[in-house]
Each structure stands twice: as structure tokens, then as C-alpha cells.
Structure 1
Amino acid sequence: MELPAVNLKMILLVHWLLTTWGCLVFLGPYAWANFTILALGVWAVAQRDSIDAISMFLIGLAVTIFLDIVHISIFYPRQNLTDTGRFGAGMAILSLLLKPFSCCLVYHMYRERGGFLGPSQDRSAYQTIDSPEAPSDPFSGPEGKNHSPQGY
């Protein structure tokens, strides 16, 4: 199944907007968890080739699915719910419902960046640890002299 090409910036924008509106009702831990993950998403946008940034954003999105379920179920206001409260709760729930789809899209981007099950990377340019070209003592020079940083 081919996922649609969605820009990571659009995913961040949608979740930022929904999280901001969700904070009309759910404050504290809800805001901290979601805005922290969005900051990781900004890192993933800023470093386009970083597998660490996209993987931390992906893991964070997955964790906030669980955290949002817990937070919304515990702190959902059951009495005296105003229109603003209903709107904010609805946006938080919509954000929660969109997160699994966002996780799929971000996982696809993670694979494109060469992540865990991504396209095979050409590792022929890498020198293996037990390569005969590797010197046994990294501080010995071409004449066999010891060039250690301590000067011994």
C-alpha cells in the first residue's frame, strides 16, 4: 500500500493547531507531552537526514497516543461543559484520532531516511573493524613512532 506523500511540516502544523485548541480544556501534562513531541518534530524538519530526529518524533507520537487516551479519559469535564470546552475537547480527541495515521506517515519518512526496515544502504564504502588496512595501534605513525596525545 502506497501512502500519500505528505510533508512533515503539514503534519506538525495540523497537530500543533489541534493541540493548541485542545489546551483550551486540557492543560498541564497534556500540553507538555504534546508540545514536547512537536518540538522533536521541528528537529526532524530541521535535520532532514537525521534518523535520530525522525525516530524520536515517531516514538514520541506513539507514546502520546497512550498519554492522550489516559489524560482525556481522566480529565474530560463531565459537568458544566461550555461550547468552548466542547470544542477544545473535540479538537484534542480529533488530534488523538489522527495520530495513528500520522505515525504511519512518519514511519514511511523514517524508512525513506534509511531507518530500521528502510531501503538497503550501500555499506561498501565503510571500512570494517577487522579490516587488514586498519592499523592495530591508532596512535602509531607510519614510521612506527608512538604519536599518542599524551606524548609517551
Structure 2
Amino acid sequence: QAILLVHWILTTWGSIVFSGPYAWANFTILALGVWAVAQRDSIDAISMFLGGLVATIFLDIIHISVFYPRGDLTDTGRFGAGMAILSLILKPFSCCFVYHMYRERGGELLLHVGFLGPSPGRSAYQTIDSPEASNDPFAGPESRGQPGHGY
């Protein structure tokens, strides 16, 4: 909730200078954050909020770099731009906290990088000689307890 409050205030102040797409993107992601707070057991809500935060990092970089007012800035304009930049600086830290909440809700590890990621669990696989294999209608006669050809 603190993450949402801080980013809402910073986005509101950042919208003084950067209106339009900046405000739409950030307020939409904050709405997803409200959904993630409201449904504490939903992995979908927290994963969409996390994905949206990551996407707005890139969108904010592009938007601030393209639309930063280069001319005569008033004090209000400098304040709004500073708050938008501060929001952008805080977003990676917010992503770390939201990712931690995602993992607490039972989300899987998002990055499987070779030997760094976890190996797949072998308990989910069915063994060849398990009793469940004998219920397979497409299995041979040997697996159903009937004499077969033995090949």
C-alpha cells in the first residue's frame, strides 16, 4: 500500500509537466496495484502489477527523455519533472518489493537462466512402472496384467 501511495503522489506531481501518455500509463498501472492489494490471494493481479511496473520503467525513460522541456522551466515545471524522475528512480526498488510479494503468493521464479534457475521437480513425472500407468487404455497388454508378446 505504501508503494502505491508513494507512486500515486509522485505520478500526480509528475503529471504537472508530463501529461497525456505518461499519466495514462502510470495511473493504469497504479489501478492494477489497487487490484493486487484488494485481492491478496491473486497471483494474476500481482504479476500484472509487476509486469506493468517493469513496462512503465521503459516507457517513463522514453517519455521523459523525449518530452523533457528544454526551454525556460518554471519552478513548478522543475518540481514536476523532478518528481517524475524520482518516481522513475524508485520503480526498480518497488519492483523488487512487488516481486517478493509475488513469490510469497506462490508465484514461480520468473527467470530460468541455465544453471542459475531451479531444476524441474521430478516428483511431477510419472514413472514407467507406476500403478497409474496400468490404467492407460493405449498401453500394451503387459501393462494391464495380461500376457503379451514381451517386446
TM-score bracket for this pair, using the shorter chain length: 0.7 to 0.9
Alignment partner, residue 75 of structure 2: 83
Q: Deviations over 1:53-78 (max 9, x none)?
A: 00000000000000000000000001
Larger radius of gyration: 2
Name the SS of the counterpart of 1:78 in structure 2. coil
CA apart distance, 1:114:
0.2
Alignment partner, residue 71 of structure 1: 63
Alignment partner, residue 118 of structure 2: none
Please say if 1:29 is aligned against 2:21.
Answer: yes
Alignment partner, residue 53 of structure 1: 45
Compute the TM-score of the two structures, normalised by the length of structure 1: 0.72
Alignment partner, residue 41 of structure 1: 33
Moved more, 85-94 or 109-118: 109-118
Gaps of 5+ in 1: 1-8, 119-130, 133-152
Equivalent residue in structure 2 for 1:105, among 68, 86, 97: 97
Gaps of 5+ in 2: 111-131, 134-151
CA apart distance, 1:117:
2.5
CA distance in 2, matches of 1:88, 1:78: 14
Moved over 6 A (4+): none
